[in-house]
């Protein structure tokens, strides 16, 4: 039977739900010391001197180190993603440093490491580290940052511009010249934080007798971190074991590699000859873990008289924070995702990435895709309004058709290949979504009835595509053991997605065993040491296809061996029920375990050209990313006095190609939507003019709770990807991506009786901000609302 496509129960859950799973903070070693980082309270300030003598003198303190104490080990981190090969682009690499030297460029930047017998002692000692500061004016606002004479985050550069990338498709100016309508607006999408339930953490242990370093780390990229640490510490890669055990949520900030703490803790453990543990606390997480998504877009869309898109132009500023170690992945994603599921003959987009005195920006679930989807969906809504056509009709008129695929967009994507949509079918997605939300009935009956009763209720529906499952590669090793059980190991890390289950399903199908008989290991470099990590909605796509290939190779081996032992042709044998059996005579069978023993003889000779064991290692690297797509719709209610919003109904129809496990996909979508609702309506990191974060706790930074997230109905559509054998596409980020424009559209619909011309051009929103927008629109006749007035 096939396990793929069934909602197999998650095999990791018994361990997780009974508290037996290992997380980094569970690691406790004899003689372990605890680390605390002294961090900058200033967003931008010169460090005149650091005096750690009082801290060092405290009993129980093993060591206090500052940048100067690191010697040659002090190096800026590596550039994790090089700039894209776009002609004419500029990029200034300024990566984070292990401990600040000379000046601090963001609040929370670490200055000193204190290692002591306990975290309490370490923190107390940290209070005794005296820093002589010279505060500098902070760079906070993106436009002010680029103004002449602005203070410089990196003084060796001429300006705060970190990068500039201009990409074009077709001739936008010509398209605009022939347009019947041009709609131009400014859009703003501000910062939030991923707020994974588990903060970051690192435990490092130098075993002097074995000459080996073991690091437990909450990273999403165990293998690259191992390789990097080995190089930095001057060790062989095989002297370093990196374990990324169970992790309480990744969401992208943990794919950022070589965080200062990740680099300094292993060094400290080697120096001290004792294990050292650092666990990030929630206050630190608001500064020390990367964030996302301030961008300001000035975008316009040119349409013909029928509302068909002739072209789109966009100029945007991207806040990269104090450093740019992750290259341009986020703004490139924004640039590429903006095109959406539509025919856009001409596209002209230029962005400038800007250094600011704020925490570093790296991908966070959606990774720039939110902004692109927000801009194009909002432009279409506003254009529909201007042209007097229905908001869904303008989408239907512009959708790409199934026979348009593959669609070449002539611009470079985050995987450095030309952006190409491999497959998709967007109209049925939209229609299924409308059907499930009850679009027509709502607009025909429910909304008029409730409006007559004085209620503000609205409905919205938006569409998106997302590039997923990018390369370069993942690998897997599959082995049948003497017990007949199957072992699958791979180099990706897992943060709760269900990899143990889905990878087991794939192997079980190939080897004719039960899913429970497949043991999966991820994130341990001693088990498998090739891999890039879990990011860009790629785990199941890339590692999944590697497992498929490895399991098939084992299957071929088992079939050949069984055929030889039973004296039949390989084609006459099948694997089922944990055994190899003759198809025509299932009673003639050899259990897989026995075959495994036979393949691994203690005497005799393994034939030349063959390998022992029922084991194989295979790799998979997709030519380029697979294009997933979807439509989200919701019904929401607005309280006219408090502007509080209640989401009453939420529907997602998602196409991630072939479904490997519908329950897992639904879980991913549900979690994504919850994060999207937080992003759209509750969460906003508020910085003052001095670069101080003003809501760095869960008292003030609101996360969605069970009261804010409605039941979510998920529909599936399967348009298999031709780029991999499983035909699958990524699903990890889909839920989070289009919630912003959906909220905006549904809110405008709900508030139409109150303010017919309201335009929402910013995310995140909150009741107070919505009230301001409504008041401004009432005063200024609609379009004038917004902190950013249309350019």
**Integer CA distances (angstroms), 716 to 207, 421, 463, 662, 751, in order:** 50, 19, 14, 8, 31
- Smallest distance, Å, CB 311 to another protein? 44
Q: Dihedral sign for Cα 370, 371, 372, 378, please.
A: positive
Please identify, using beta-carbon distances, which residue of 135 and 448 lies nearer to another protein.
Answer: 135
**Token pair of 184, please?**
């131009």
- Smallest distance, Å, CB 141 to another protein? 17
Is 251 one of the binding residues for another protein (CB under 8 A)?
Answer: no
Burial of residue 160 (CB within 10 Å: 0-12, 13-18, 19+) is buried
Is 127 one of the binding residues for another protein (CB under 8 A)?
Answer: yes
Radius of gyration in angstroms for the set of CA atoms belonging to the chain, rounded to a whole number: 28
Please select the residue that binds another protein; options are 688, 756, 768, 791, rule is CB under 8 A: 688
Please identify, using beta-carbon distances, which residue of 118 and 646 lies nearer to another protein.
Answer: 118
Choose the binding region for another protein from 119-127, 166-174, 460-468, 706-714 (rule: CB under 8 A). 119-127
Please identify, using beta-carbon distances, which residue of 61 and 339 lies nearer to another protein.
Answer: 61
Please select the residue that binds another protein; options are 692, 708, 725, 753, rule is CB under 8 A: 692
- The 3-state DSSP class for residue 206 equals strand
Please identify, using beta-carbon distances, which residue of 694 and 789 lies nearer to another protein.
Answer: 694
**Among 612, 648, 656, 649, CA closest to 630:** 656
Is 332 one of the binding residues for another protein (CB under 8 A)?
Answer: no
Exposure string over 244-256, b if 16+ CB within 10 A, otherwise e: bbbbbbbbbbbbb
Please select the residue that binds another protein; options are 483, 623, 644, 697, rule is CB under 8 A: 697
- Smallest distance, Å, CB 150 to another protein? 19
- Smallest distance, Å, CB 55 to another protein? 11
Place of tokens 């432009």: 379
Is 107 one of the binding residues for another protein (CB under 8 A)?
Answer: yes
Choose the binding region for another protein from 304-312, 485-493, 695-703, 768-776 (rule: CB under 8 A). 695-703
**Interatomic CA distance for residues 155 and 157, integer angstroms:** 5
The residue count for binding another protein (CB under 8 A) is 25
- Smallest distance, Å, CB 51 to another protein? 12
Please select the residue that binds another protein; options are 339, 696, 747, 750, rule is CB under 8 A: 696
Is 694 one of the binding residues for another protein (CB under 8 A)?
Answer: yes
Place of tokens 């981190």: 77
Choose the binding region for another protein from 73-81, 151-159, 691-699, 761-769 (rule: CB under 8 A). 691-699
Is 28 one of the binding residues for another protein (CB under 8 A)?
Answer: no
Is 700 one of the binding residues for another protein (CB under 8 A)?
Answer: yes
**Interatomic CA distance for residues 275 and 281, integer angstroms:** 19
Q: What is the 3-state secondary structure (H, E, C) of 326-365?
A: CCCHHHHHHHHHCCCCECCCCEEEEEEEEECCCCCECCCC
CB 213 within 8 A of CB 235: yes
Please select the residue that binds another protein; options are 16, 521, 690, 784, rule is CB under 8 A: 690
**Among 500, 540, 506, 505, CA closest to 523:** 500
Is 150 one of the binding residues for another protein (CB under 8 A)?
Answer: no
CA angle centred on 637, ends 631 and 642, rounded to 5°: 135
Is 51 one of the binding residues for another protein (CB under 8 A)?
Answer: no
Please identify, using beta-carbon distances, which residue of 211 and 700 lies nearer to another protein.
Answer: 700
Phi then psi for 217, rounded to 5 degrees? Answer: -150, 140
Binding mask 282-321 for another protein (x = CB under 8 A): -x--xx----------------------------------
**Interatomic CA distance for residues 671 and 412, integer angstroms:** 30
Is 131 one of the binding residues for another protein (CB under 8 A)?
Answer: yes
- Smallest distance, Å, CB 695 to another protein? 6
Please identify, using beta-carbon distances, which residue of 139 and 465 lies nearer to another protein.
Answer: 139
CB contact set of 638 (below 8 Å; sequence gap of 6+)? 456, 457, 458, 644, 645, 747, 750, 751, 770
Please select the residue that binds another protein; options are 90, 565, 600, 695, rule is CB under 8 A: 695
For the chain, the residue count is: 791
- Smallest distance, Å, CB 696 to another protein? 3
- Smallest distance, Å, CB 694 to another protein? 5
Positions touching another protein (CB under 8 A) are 39-43, 107, 123, 126-127, 131, 133, 135, 283, 286-287, 688, 690, 692-697, 699-700
């Amino acid at each position: 039977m096939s396990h793929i496509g069934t909602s197999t129960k998650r095999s990791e859950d018994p361990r997780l739900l009974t508290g037996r799973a290992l997380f980094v903070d569970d690691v406790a070693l004899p003689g372990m010391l605890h680390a605390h980082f002294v961090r900058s309270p200033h967003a931008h300030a010169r460090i005149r001197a650091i005096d750690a003598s009082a801290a060092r003198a405290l009993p129980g303190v093993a060591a206090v180190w500052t940048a100067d104490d690191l010697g040659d080990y002090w190096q800026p981190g590596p550039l994790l993603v090089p700039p894209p090969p776009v002609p004419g682009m500029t990029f200034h690499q300024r990566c984070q440093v292990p401990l600040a030297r000379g000046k601090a460029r963001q609040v929370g930047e670490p200055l000193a490491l204190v290692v002591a017998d306990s975290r309490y002692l370490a923190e107390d000692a940290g209070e005794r580290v005296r820093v002589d500061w010279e505060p500098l004016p902070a760079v906070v606002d993106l436009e002010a940052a680029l103004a002449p004479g602005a203070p410089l985050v990196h003084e060796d550069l001429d300006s705060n511009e970190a990068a500039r990338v201009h990409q074009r498709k077709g001739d936008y100016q010509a398209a605009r010249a022939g347009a019947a309508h041009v709609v131009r607006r400014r859009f703003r999408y501000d910062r939030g934080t991923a707020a994974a339930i588990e903060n970051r953490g690192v435990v490092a242990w130098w075993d002097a007798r074995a000459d080996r370093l073991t690091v437990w780390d909450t990273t999403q990229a165990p293998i690259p971190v191992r390789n990097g640490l080995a190089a930095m510490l001057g060790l062989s890669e095989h002297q370093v074991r990196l374990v990324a055990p169970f992790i309480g949520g990744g969401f992208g900030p943990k794919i950022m590699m070589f965080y200062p703490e990740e680099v300094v803790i292993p060094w400290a453990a080697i120096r001290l000859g004792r294990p050292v543990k650092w666990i990030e606390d929630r206050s630190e997480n608001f500064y020390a873990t990367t964030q996302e998504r301030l961008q300001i877009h000035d975008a316009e869309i040119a349409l013909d008289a029928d509302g068909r898109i002739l072209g789109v132009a966009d100029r945007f500023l991207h806040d990269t924070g104090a450093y740019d170690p992750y290259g341009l992945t986020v703004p490139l994603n924004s640039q590429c995702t903006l095109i959406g599921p539509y025919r856009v003959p001409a596209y002209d987009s230029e962005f400038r990435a800007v250094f600011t005195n704020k925490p570093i920006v790296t991908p966070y679930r959606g990774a720039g895709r939110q902004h692109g989807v927000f801009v194009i969906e909002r432009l279409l809504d506003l254009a529909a309004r201007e042209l007097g056509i229905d908001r869904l009709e303008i989408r239907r008129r512009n959708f790409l058709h199934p026979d348009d695929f593959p669609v070449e967009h002539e611009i470079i994507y985050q995987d450095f290949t030309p952006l190409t949509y491999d497959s998709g079918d967007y109209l049925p997605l939209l229609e299924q979504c409308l059907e499930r939300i009850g679009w027509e009935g709502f607009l025909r009956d429910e909304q008029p009835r409730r409006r007559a009763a004085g209620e503000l209720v609205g409905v919205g529906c938006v569409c998106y595509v997302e590039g997923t499952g990018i390369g370069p590669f993942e690998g897997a090793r599959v082995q049948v053991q003497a017990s007949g059980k199957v072992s699958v190991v791979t180099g990706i890390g897992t943060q709760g997605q269900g990899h143990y289950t889905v990878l087991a399903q794939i192997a079980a199908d190939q080897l004719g065993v039960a899913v429970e008989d497949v043991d999966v290991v991820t994130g341990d470099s001693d088990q498998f040491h090739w891999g890039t990590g879990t990011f860009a909605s790629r785990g199941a796509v890339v590692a999944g296809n590697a497992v498929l290939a490895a399991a098939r190779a084992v299957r071929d081996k088992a079939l050949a061996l069984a055929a030889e032992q039973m004296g039949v042709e390989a084609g006459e044998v099948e694997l089922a029920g944990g055994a190899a059996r003759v198809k025509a005579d299932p009673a003639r069978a050899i259990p897989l375990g026995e075959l495994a023993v036979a393949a691994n003889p203690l005497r005799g000779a393994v034939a030349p050209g063959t390998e022992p064991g029922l084991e194989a290692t295979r790799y998979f690297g997709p030519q380029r990313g697979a294009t997933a797509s979807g439509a989200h719709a919701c019904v929401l209610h607005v309280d006219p006095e408090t502007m509080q919003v209640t989401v009453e109904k939420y529907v997602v129809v998602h196409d991630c190609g072939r479904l490997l496990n519908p329950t897992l996909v639904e879980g991913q979508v549900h979690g994504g939507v919850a994060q999207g609702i937080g992003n759209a309506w509750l969460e906003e990191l508020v910085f003052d003019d001095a670069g101080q974060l003003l809501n760095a706790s869960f008292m003030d930074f609101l996360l969605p709770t069970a009261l804010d997230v409605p039941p979510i109905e998920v529909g599936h559509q399967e348009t298999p990807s031709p780029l991999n054998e499983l035909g699958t596409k990524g699903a990890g980020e889909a839920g989070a991506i289009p919630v912003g424009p959906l909220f905006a559209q549904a809110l405008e619909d709900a508030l139409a009786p109150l303010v017919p011309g309201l335009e929402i051009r910013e995310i995140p929103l909150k009741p107070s901000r919505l009230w301001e927008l409504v008041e401004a629109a009432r005063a200024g006749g609609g379009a004038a609302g917004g902190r950013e007035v249309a350019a």
